[in-house]
Amino acid sequence: MTTTGPVDTPESVADSISRQAGRGLRWSLIGTIVTKVGSFAMSLVLARLLAPSDFGTFAIALAATSFLMHIKDGGLIAATVQWRGKLEEVAPTATTLTAGFGIVVYGVMWLSAPYFAELAGDRSATPVVRLLTLIVLIDGLTSVRSAALMRTFQQNKLIVANSAGLVANAAIAISLAVDGAGAFSFAYGQVAGAAVTGLLVLAFVRLPLRLGLDSRIARQLLRYGVPLAASLGVEAIVMNAQFLIVGSIAGPTALGFFLLAFNVASWAQTVLGTAIRYVSVAGFSRLSEQDHETLSDGVRRSMPLLVTVVAPISALTTVLATPVVLLLYGGQWAASAPVLEFLAMLTLARMITGLAMDALMGAGATPSTLWVNGGWALALIPALWVATHVDGIRGAAIAHAAIGLFVAVPLAALMLHRARVDVRSVGHAIVRPIVAAVFSSAVAWIVARYVGPNPLVQLLVGGCVGVLLYVPAAVPLDRLRQGVAMLRREPAVAAE
């Protein structure tokens, strides 16, 4: 018996998915870099217009919003991306559920905002919390359309929408800050940006905005989404409990310094992590449709690449934290530098666990993500409380980094192992870049200490020395050539 066309082997299917995901990732990286550079520029302006206490008040509202954004859709965005059938059949039910969840979640937060703000040590943050969390309502109507763009790797359209939202955000926030609006500057800007982004997403997706409720589809979506929503809710607690604990113990001004350090430490997470998540859940989902070995191979190839990129960023930020803060934000923010030294280490843990949980979500193992985040939260919250009492915001940063590296990462590895991913080979592959990052950053620290007190000179000289030492130590020549070839690879044609 003969065949009339090419046979799709698991390797060819994986390569096709890899090319489509790679195309989406390139667009995601471009767009995320553009938007994050814009956000960074905006933060520099606002840091000179607003006081640390304004940042502290905003941190409380941001903690509330971040938590709600993790749980507001019941995990239905990822469920929609992972849906095995046609998008048209699931969209009305998913939209109805996400919009309904958004309304309920916002209503609960509006009522509880005074208690939340008081718990964080600043009851005056109540109206800012109520304003900023309006983003939840906007996202409830548009999240399924965003999922549709991610599902089909149309990240270029998300770039346009997010960039337009950033422009609106910056225009509103900076104008209000000049007028003395304080923490409200952040809130009004972010709500305006979310509205602009949402409208463009609705316009870009050729999918009617219809409501409906199919009980069979709803059950399938919730069966996947509810464990994920619980896991993401715990993840939000992990990332935002620090703001509540630091604010209640150290006060809003110290919390402002902590927030600035956390934002700087999160640059790699927000740029690379956001771009990767736009494509990774969909990519791992497609790989898991083949077999466990295909999924395992996807993790084995992607995790070392991620660590190779992120490890030097975390290590160099750790040793060059003081010149980073002084150069970018000025001496009035110097108290953020000792915090940044340790939160930069947390970034590596967040990136590793983030990719691991994307793989688990793609494989449909959403309860496993709950185990990771649940264990992380149980260890972190008491550690943060004790450490903040002992050593203030620096102690909180040390506790956060230690729990992330020595509790969360091992838990993620265990859950990947249970999902039949070969974590041993992954572990062997990431040793070299981690050791290279430690070595190169140590040399960079020594060099920076002897080039004088100017923070710009310290950053340029120390950073360049660190990078020049890291690349040949971490990346074999053949791997470097392979990476360049991958970036140049053309996307799969429609016939594939």
Q: How far apart are CA 347 and CA 339, in angstroms?
A: 13
Task: Report yes or no: 269 and 347 within 8 Å, Cβ to Cβ.
Answer: yes
pLDDT of 221 reads 72
Angle formed by the axes of helices 366-403 and 337-362, nearest 10°: 170
Question: Is the predicted pLDDT of residue 394 greater than 90, yes or no?
Answer: yes
**214-223, 271-280, 370-379, 408-417: segment of lowest average pLDDT:** 271-280
pLDDT, position 78: 61
Which of 13, 20, 6 shows the shortest CA–CA distance to 289? Answer: 13
Compute the distance between CA of residue 236 and CA of residue 373 in angstroms, rounded to an integer.
9
What is the pLDDT confidence band of residue 76, given thresholds at 50, 70 and 90? low
- pLDDT, residue 225, reads 63
Q: What is the DSSP letter of 492?
A: P
Provide the total of helices (H) and of strands (E) in the chain, helices listed first.
20, 0
158-166 mean pLDDT: 81
6 falls within a domain: no
pLDDT digits (tens, 9 = 90+) for 396-429: 999 999 999 999 999 999 988 888 888 888 888 8
Alpha helices by DSSP H, listed for 50-183, are 52-71, 76-82, 87-119, 126-132, 135-151, 155-178
Percent of the chain exceeding pLDDT 70 equals 74
Cα atoms in the 13 Å half-sphere on the side-chain side of 315 = 26
Q: Which residue has the higher pLDDT, 17 or 461?
A: 461
Question: Per the domain annotation, does 4 fall within a domain?
Answer: no
Q: Residue 226: pLDDT above 80?
A: no
Q: CA distances (Å), 61 to each of 66, 141, 240, 319, in order? A: 9, 21, 10, 31
Q: Nearest CA to 289 among 82, 99, 436, 440?
A: 82
- Give me the residue label for tokens 């793989």: 359
Q: pLDDT digit string (tens) for 94-104?
A: 778 878 888 88
Query: Is 431 within a domain?
Result: yes
Average pLDDT value for residue range 71-93: 65
For residue 163, is it within any domain?
Answer: yes
Least confident of 129-138, 148-157, 309-318, 329-338: 148-157
pLDDT digits (tens, 9 = 90+) for 171-185: 998 888 888 888 888
| Residue 493 forms part of a structural domain | no
If you compute the radius of gyration of the chain from its CA atoms, what whole number of angstroms results? Answer: 22
Distance CA 252, CA 160 (A): 35
Place of tokens 């997706």: 205
Residue 388 in domain: yes
Give the range of the structural domain holding residue 190, as residue numbers without chain letter.
11-488
- Better-predicted residue by pLDDT, 219 or 466: 466
Predicted confidence (pLDDT) at residue 229 exceeds the cutoff of 60: yes
CA distances from 102 to 133, 138, 393 (A): 10, 8, 33
3-state secondary structure of 302: helix
In a domain, 353, yes or no: yes
Tell me the per-residue pLDDT of 301-330, one tens digit each, with 9 for 90 and over. 788 888 888 899 999 999 999 999 998 888
What pLDDT sits at residue 493? 33
User: Does the structure show a pLDDT above 60 at 488?
Assistant: no
Q: How confident is the model at residue 442 (pLDDT cuts 50, 70, 90)?
A: very high
Q: Is the dihedral of CA 38, 331, 172, 340 positive or negative?
A: positive
Residue 200 confidence (pLDDT):
86
Number of domains comprising the chain = 1
pLDDT of 276 = 61
Is the pLDDT at 462 greater than 60? The verdict is yes
CA-based nearest residue to 232, from 301, 143, 338: 143
The answer to whether residue 495 scores a pLDDT higher than 50 is no
Domain assignment of residue 496, yes or no: no
Using a 10 angstrom Cβ sphere, with 0-12 exposed, 13-18 middle and 19 or more buried, the burial of residue 234 is buried
- Which of 247, 242, 233, 248 has the alpha carbon at shortest distance from 263? 242
pLDDT digits (tens, 9 = 90+) for 242-280: 888 888 898 888 888 998 899 888 877 766 665 565 555
